[in-house]
Structure 1
């Protein structure tokens, strides 16, 4: 829900914080929680407070201070996770800057991450209640003295010279906006914000095709795709002194593993080997799958599909490795026969690329009952015009 400044000020007050702490045990009982809060506050405030208390339980997945922070549902969803924000804040610190403009600060996840490196931050937002929450979150995280807050629309008034970080708003209410032209600030305004800066970072959505982003925004000195726990979180365009000198980079958090290089390789296509490798999504979106395949002497099964294959296991954090036990066409009769021959009792998971069927549908279709005690993974994929199913056992890095 959207809240006004007055409501935000009430929610961040000492009295409201004490109330939320006192009623924390009612979070799992929404009706009782709202009823208790409505006995203490106006209905609008009570509703906003109940939502905040419930959101905080989700926020701990993003922030170590999540149970004390302030946000709406939309703000929480738009915000950068603590690990991702801390990783990219280090770029500005390592570049030798003393301050950074955070052009679209939102609830302050990036501003506070930058401040935690010791940088001075000038934070901007055009919404007064959002800016108030950002100030409150800076206090929660103990960096309020390092951040200057400005109620300002950066699309209308560009911040002064100096390094900048830009994270355009990509939501309107609860709706995610897929067209960069409708983001705030839009590509034209972003170009004005980036112009003439000694260093700049631009956070973009991994849900939008890379070609679209490269067409809409100023050409970056480096493109980085960051994943967290196997899920792509953002694409970053880096400019000037915060760029590393590499054309493309894939980074896997929380371990900070990274692969970098030029966008100049296409993976060779080969036949199925003894192992199948499922790459981290950052490797795929960054365009570095080809150079990774070449340097690790593996091939793809299909030029349009990201699965890799080879005859030796890879001890690399950017791939999950599966030992091939068998494969056949993705046909109900053939796959059930293969499951029976391999004495499969359970599918640990179903991974798929280029296959329209849902994973649960494939699982129910091919393993309607246990055929033994073995636990395996089904990898369903397209190879040329054929759909095939590969049954494999996952190999851990230690093995």
Structure 2
């Protein structure tokens, strides 16, 4: 099979789940957003301390915009006991398009989630106001590990919670983030039109074996079985507006990914994909065709543009990009082994380090 997608012109991509951190890490990763073919990102609020007020979100966005003035940053708030219906109304009244949603992290399931939600029920007044103000609820769809819940079934165990929230708030727009299982895909497909799912390029690419022996590929939710990956590929290639790109690009220092300074701690969960995010997604879809999991005829320009940004823009009620990218041939660009901050204080290992991907150019 010849290199797919070469020469294809697509709208600028939109990534509806990114972690941009703070300090030297932020200064290193934010300038790579457009390199990945993206001009709109939805920013996660799990800083330390978390972004829980409109003022904090606006201040954070100002710093991000200084580093990448050609990128549109959509901001989010971290669901926390301090979030009240009044805060939701304030966010809406601010009239700033970038404050779109409240982010839900079940307590303890992922990076900087210790302040996260333990009982969603106590936030029902907040969710009701979000529904009335037409804000989006983003769900990290995993239950914390306990008893018979592990990283392998945490997402599937969360799905009844998703469906209950949808039942109780049928007009509330909900995103099940970084879907990683066949069960999650089915739940999104079967729910009403206000429930959608985001999919990451690394979940389109990896299975359990790829992260079990490589901490750089370790993320939460973890990549799972070939059958689960196949379901994700088919959802991404379906053209259904219920699914769109949300990379969960999550940079960590080399030390954090390898167990800390002494190598004896826990490995940080997160895969950094930002500099090549659209290339990774296109590579995964092309590989799906090579493996016979997808029909290349499905992957039309409309389907690709939809998954890589247009479906998400529509759901978040944002305009299409006025910019265009052109896709280079497979294997034309080498992914670096490591990316460093200007002062060399931060070193990050990108996904698929040292391998080759396709280049992208802005037109």
TM-score by length of 1: 0.30
TM-score by length of 2: 0.32
More RCO (CA 8 Å, sep 6+) = 2
User: Which of the pair is proportionally richer in strand?
Assistant: 1
